[in-house]
């Protein structure tokens, strides 16, 4: 089958409806997954690449304290707004169009941030670029649900999620190289150049996956052909009404759906800790271990390797556990079969925090605290991957809105936690500060998998309403 014939089959012919994205060729689905995951990689890369540049930016714009960290943390405020709006828009107008427009917005504002002349300018532009960068985070789960069955998603979650989780660990290395050999502004420009190439790749290879939008477009073609492709006034009014409903949906989910609330709590705490540790590592290696910029940045590889290793272990264990529990359940899968790996992650995270914190406090050989960060990353990726699968399995067609609602708290945590990282570690030291974080993780994080396992099915029964 030629590429043209494959495209015609996917989008529907003159008389036949477009096939579901789940019926696409494996090649087409794999390309779609890889492109979306690369968008997540770029978005995550720019979220933390500015960390080694903060001293240079602070010196140039004469800022200090929490204000000096704003160029890092305000990116996540843009995430929060984008994750709430882009998901519902995609369910009205299509996932791929929303993905391309959000990335175009990201390119424009991220490039402009490299030309900022004041701290206020760079903060505003970081918020706006964060809004565009939220696109792949909000839409990725929905696209994955459109293309794959729950069993297939278990196998592909590493391909989809790992680039986005790995990039915050690699971002500081890019920033350190630019800080050492170029200028902090090139940290933004290099990311934008890469994103332009990815935008072109997406335009050439990725097709719409959301079935209701594909069906709607096909029905319009049947009614009037290309000459009447544009919607009528009545259709525009109906679209505005649906958009208003879809935009409100994430707020309603976050306010009334206990599943969304629990996963939002878990993801917010997990991601906040990841960003706090990411923000503090640069200070630890430069000030306490007196390492040069490039060498200090290379310690972030401990976080990156932990995420890669944890994702591989999590994928295999999750797939095995899901298959075994499904077999015991008469061949019927349930979202709760993702919970055992979430529980494992909530145990590993505080262990990693304690190891890293007290090793850094004792100023032992650098490899020892790096091993603690490695262990921490394994727990982080287990929680984030498996809660994402739980969410997609539960909400299916509305998974983009559910993801947007969950990621609202996650992004707000990503904004808030780095702001007090310097004060926290300066006042308590590495050991006690990370012990405090481990205690919070135990108190707030451990009940989540228990509640999902014990009451998840009951909570899902209350979601019958067609919101």
Domain edges within the chain: 22-215+236-461
* Beta-carbon contacts of residue 286 (< 8 Å; ≥ 6 apart): 293, 296
Amino acid 1: pLDDT: 43
Which regions in the chain score pLDDT beneath 70?
1-18, 21, 88, 91, 150-151, 153-159, 161, 210-211, 215, 217-236, 238-239, 242-243, 246-247, 397-400, 463-467
Amino acid 228: pLDDT: 42
The CA distance from 463 to 467, in Å, is 8
Amino acid 311: pLDDT: 81
Tokens representing residue 104 in the block: 């175009």
Quick check: 284 and 294 in contact, CB under 8 A?
A: no
Quick check: 337 and 322 in contact, CB under 8 A?
A: yes
Quick check: 136 and 36 in contact, CB under 8 A?
A: yes
Amino acid 159: pLDDT: 67
DSSP 285: I
Top-tier CATH class for 22-215+236-461: mainly alpha
Quick check: 84 and 250 in contact, CB under 8 A?
A: yes
Q: What is the DSSP annotation of 231-251? A: --HHHHHHHHHHHHHHHHHHH
Amino acid 251: pLDDT: 79
Residue 258, φ and ψ in degrees, nearest 5: -65, -30
CA 166 → CA 98, 159, 315, distances in Å? 24, 11, 15
Q: What is the DSSP annotation of 407-459? A: HHHHHHHHHHHHHTHHHHHHHHHHHHHHHHHHHHHHHHHTHHHHHHHHHHHHH
Amino acid 467: pLDDT: 47
pTM for this entry:
0.76
The CA distance from 320 to 325, in Å, is 9
């Amino acid at each position: 089958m030629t590429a043209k014939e494959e495209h015609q089959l996917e989008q529907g012919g003159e008389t036949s409806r477009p096939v579901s994205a789940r019926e696409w060729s494996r090649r087409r689905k794999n390309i779609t997954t890889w492109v979306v995951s690369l968008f997540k990689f770029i978005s995550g890369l720019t979220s933390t690449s500015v960390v080694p540049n903060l001293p240079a930016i602070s010196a140039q714009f004469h800022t200090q304290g929490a204000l000096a960290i704003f160029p890092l943390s305000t990116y996540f405020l843009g995430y929060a707004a984008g994750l709430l709006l882009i998901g519902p828009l995609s369910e009205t107008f299509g996932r791929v169009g929303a993905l391309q427009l959000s990335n175009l917005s990201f390119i424009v504002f991220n490039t402009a941030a490299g030309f900022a002349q004041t701290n206020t300018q760079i903060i505003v532009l970081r918020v706006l670029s964060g809004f565009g960068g939220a696109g792949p985070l909000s839409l990725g789960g929905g696209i994955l649900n459109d293309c794959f069955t729950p069993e297939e998603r278990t196998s592909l979650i590493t391909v989809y999620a790992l680039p986005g989780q790995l990039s915050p660990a690699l971002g500081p290395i890019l920033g350190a190289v630019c800080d050492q050999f170029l200028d902090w502004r090139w940290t933004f420009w290099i990311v934008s150049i890469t994103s332009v190439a990815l935008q072109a790749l997406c335009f050439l290879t990725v097709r719409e996956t959301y079935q209701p939008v594909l069906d709607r477009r096909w029905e319009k073609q049947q009614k009037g052909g290309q000459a009447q492709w544009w919607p009528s006034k009545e259709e525009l009014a109906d679209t505005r009404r649906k958009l208003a409903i879809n935009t409100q949906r994430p707020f309603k989910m976050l306010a009334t759906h206990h599943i969304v609330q629990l996963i939002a709590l878990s993801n917010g705490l997990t991601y906040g800790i990841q960003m706090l540790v990411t923000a503090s590592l640069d200070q630890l290696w430069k000030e306490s271990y007196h390492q040069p910029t490039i060498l200090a940045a290379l310690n972030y590889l401990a976080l990156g390797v932990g995420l890669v290793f944890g994702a591989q272990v999590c994928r295999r264990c999750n797939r095995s556990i899901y298959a075994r529990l499904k077999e015991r359940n008469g061949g019927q899968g349930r979202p709760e079969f993702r919970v055992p790996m979430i529980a494992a992650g909530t145990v590993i995270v505080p262990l990693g925090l304690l190891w890293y914190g007290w090793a850094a406090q004792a100023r032992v050989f650098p490899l020892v605290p790096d091993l603690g960060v490695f262990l921490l990353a394994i727990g982080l990726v287990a929680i984030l991957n498996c809660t994402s699968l739980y969410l997609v399995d539960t909400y299916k067609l509305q998974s983009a809105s559910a993801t947007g609602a969950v990621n609202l708290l996650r992004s707000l945590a990503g904004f808030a936690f780095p702001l007090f990282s310097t004060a926290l570690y300066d006042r308590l030291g590495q050991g006690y500060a990370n012990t405090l974080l481990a205690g919070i993780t135990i108190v707030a994080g451990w009940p989540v998998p228990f509640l999902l396992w014990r009451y998840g099915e009951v909570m899902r029964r209350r979601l019958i309403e067609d919101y």
